[in-house]
Amino acid sequence: MTQKYTILFDLDGTLVDTAPDLMNAHNYVMKKYGYPTKSTQEIRNLVGQGAGALIGRSIWGQAKKEFHSVEDKKIKDQMSKDFVNFYGKNIINESTLINGVKEFLKWCKEQGVSMAVCTNKQEHLAIDLLKKIGIYDYFEYVAGSNTFDYCKPDPRHITSIIEILGGDLKKSLMIGDSETDANAAKAASIPVILLENGYTEKNTNEIYHNHLIKDYIDVEKIISTYLKD
């Protein structure tokens, strides 16, 4: 049976404000390896691509730090592992749900909407966070950066989830907070609801979207227009 409607959600900055815990994990690793630490806002600007990119963009932004390319990769890989290990043990110390999330998820469930998470966070970390913060049971599927052989902005990250759910691309949309989400959704030809002040360096007017929201208060009104189609 084809789902009535499918909504895919990004996780970091979209469902949960994870920046404080990501910052703590990031700064733990940076201090360990002798690199400068970051503020919460700087972390928000770096998050979208996952742990490796988070560490990479922070380190390699320091132009004076130069290593041989092979050593670079080894150091970056080890730092990413240390980051994931520390973060996994401290995943919900300061992270909080985006305003109105739980009420919106409950409403969607009542409307028979099929929901899934499409994140560039590693799958086991995403599932652990969703369970600990109390919203895991609303979702029928969780796909992380390592679930498939590809991830956002590759549209297959989105289309594969919709296919697994038995959904229809013409009856699906993406809710995200960065160009990574928006570009994947655009390439998959599905609408995008974009959260303001997302985990990105770009301004909202630089990111493709069909609707712009501050949080999840009254987002039901937007979704209702799609459910009527």
Please report which residue ranges of 90-150 form alpha helices under DSSP H: 101-110, 123-132
On whether the CB atoms of residues 10 and 119 are closer than 8 A, the answer is yes
On whether the CB atoms of residues 168 and 6 are closer than 8 A, the answer is yes
On whether the CB atoms of residues 23 and 43 are closer than 8 A, the answer is yes
Strands 96-97 and 16-17, how do they pair?
Answer: antiparallel
**DSSP string covering 174-196:** EEESSHHHHHHHHHTT--EEEES
Cα–Cα dist 107/100, whole Å: 11
Residue 197, sorted as left (phi over 0), alpha (psi -120 to 50) or beta, turns out to be: left
**Which residues does the annotation mark as catalytic?**
10
Other beta carbons less than 10 A from residue 88's beta carbon: 14
